[in-house]
């Protein structure tokens, strides 16, 4: 997990570009950053990552999951938040991120 100062800087950068922090997925939810907005959902996961979204110009909402480790890595999905499989798609993307991070560590 990145340091609190790095986390704050990361959030500020995303906000500057129109993204909103929506969710955190963490290996240890007791490590949730202090001062986190109450609207940000926090859940357990096999990787530390932050979900951001931004309003679309047209079409589905852009969701980006950003790895909160020492190497910079992110995946973007365009999702319909009202779709029945919305949460399943988020979990699938989390698993893809975890697999990619694990592959980089063992390469």
Contact predicate 10/2, CB 8 Å: yes
pTM: 0.90
Is 63 within 8 Å of 77 (Cβ atoms)? yes
Does the pLDDT value for residue 1 go beyond 80?
A: no
Can you give the residue range of the structural domain that contains 61? Answer: 4-106
Q: Is a pLDDT exceeding 90 seen at residue 106?
A: no
Cα–Cα distance measured from residue 106 to residue 37, given in angstroms and rounded to the nearest whole number: 35
Rounded distance, CA 15 to CA 31, Å?
A: 22
Per the model's pLDDT, the better-predicted residue between 31 and 54 turns out to be 54
Which pLDDT tens digit goes with each residue over 45-80? Answer: 989 999 999 987 777 889 999 999 888 899 999 988
How does the average pLDDT of the chain come out, rounded?
Answer: 90
Alpha carbon distances (Å) from 92 to 28, 29, 77: 19, 20, 11
> Domain count of the chain?
1
- pLDDT at res. 32: 85
Residue 61 CB: number of other CB atoms within 10 A? Answer: 16
């Amino acid at each position: 997990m990145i340091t609190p100062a790095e986390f704050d800087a990361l959030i500020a950068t995303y906000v500057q570009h129109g993204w909103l922090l929506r969710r955190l997925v963490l290996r240890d939810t007791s490590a949730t950053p202090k001062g986190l907005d109450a609207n940000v959902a926090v859940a357990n996961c096999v990787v530390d990552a932050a979900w951001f979204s931004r309003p679309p110009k047209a079409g589905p909402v852009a969701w980006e999951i950003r790895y909160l480790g020492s190497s910079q890595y992110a995946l973007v999905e365009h999702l319909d938040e009202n779709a029945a499989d919305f949460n399943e798609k988020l979990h699938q993307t989390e698993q893809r991120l975890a697999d990619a991070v694990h592959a980089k560590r063992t390469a």
